[in-house]
Amino acid sequence: MGWTYSAAGVDIKAADEVKARIKGLARTTFGPEVLSEIGSFGGLFAVPAGLRQPVLVASADGVGTKLKVAVLAEKHDTVGADLVNHCVDDILVQGARPLFFLDYLAMGSLNPLIVADVVSGLARACREAGCALLGGEMAEMPDMYAAGEYDLAGTIIGIVEKDAILPRPDIKPGDEVLGLASNGLHTNGFSLVRRLCLDALKMRPGDFVPEFGSTLGEELLRTHRNYGPLVHPLLPDGLVKAMVHLTGGGYRGNIPRVLPDGLGVRIDPRGWPAQPVFTFLAERGGIARDEMFRTFNMGLGLLLIAAPEQAWEIRSRLEKTGEQVYTAGIVTADAGVEII
């Protein structure tokens, strides 16, 4: 009897069954712009009409080692949403709205239940973001991943009018930096968190942590926020000069990416409340303050830079929606990021 793909560890029948499930989930994200079905060689999407000078904005990212926490906790329905929301926020800071999303999911041995959970999170987040889950790749690669482990990445395509691209060049000293709360760790810093909590402290995802009011797994797997619905209504009125998505690299790594040469920002952490997860990590791990702000979002997922008069309007509008807006800092004439 000759060799077969199945004998080599790739189950084509199981893959076909999973793809059938995925089609149903993906269709729930489709609008009239989607011109193809899941399973086509390429996804077809009609660019929306009505824009004068449309510019496409693209970004790709992953979930990092937060996936290892999901595997240990045996909870896979949140990491897909993490991935979509992270990518949505990345293009949001340039003023773009998402159009469609493509995912890449790879594992050593196909587990239909895990795949269904992951894709359900992808589809849910795409629906909430108003973008289509247009297609992707599901790869079964024996010997590449340990049993039960998988990798997840995605690409998002959005659109913005050319004259509405952020950041704007008119940022100047005295502009205010406002902050919107994160939902915990989001998707960054998990290599450090895992080494501390799981290895050094010998904790497990099911352990209840009084400081969190939840289990460790529930806290670590809280979903990355999508700030698009809050922020997009502000943009047509020119209220926001720039935004910063606080992801890998923290404050010092991300804020300079949107500032004109020669300008800096002074961050005052007294302007927002400390979230228990960050206090816990700093105290239990003996992590230096500068390292915390370099690695984590420290309780703010998105920063908005605006002139003082516009900052007041932003605060007023967002607080009417129930969103708390924090004063995070100010733009300075000295280059760099100072955390007082």
Domains of the chain by start residue, with CATH: 12-164 (3.30.1330.10), 176-339 (3.90.650.10)
Share of the chain above pLDDT 70, in %: 99
Residue 279 has pLDDT above 90, yes or no: yes
Q: Calculate what percentage of the chain has a pLDDT beyond 90.
A: 88
How many helices and strands in the chain, by DSSP H and E? 11, 12
Q: Residues 14, 123: contact at Cβ < 8 Å?
A: no
As given in the structure block, the two tokens for residue 122 are 């992808």
Q: Look at residue 6 and tell me whether its pLDDT is greater than 80.
A: no
- Average pLDDT over the chain reads 95
Question: Terminal CA-to-CA distance of the chain, rounded, Å?
Answer: 71
Q: Work out the average pLDDT over 251-276.
A: 97
Indicate the range of 24-38, 189-203, 242-256 predicted with least confidence: 24-38
Using only C-alpha atoms, the chain has a radius of gyration, in whole angstroms, of 21
At 1, the pLDDT band (50, 70, 90 cuts) reads low
Query: Is 189's pLDDT higher than 80?
Result: yes
pLDDT band at 21 (very low <50, low <70, confident <90, very high): confident
What pTM was estimated for this model as a whole?
A: 0.94
How far is CA 277 from its chain centroid? 18
Q: Which sign, positive or negative, has the C-alpha torsion 77, 83, 86, 91?
A: negative
Cα–Cα distance, 262 to 277 (Å, whole number):
34
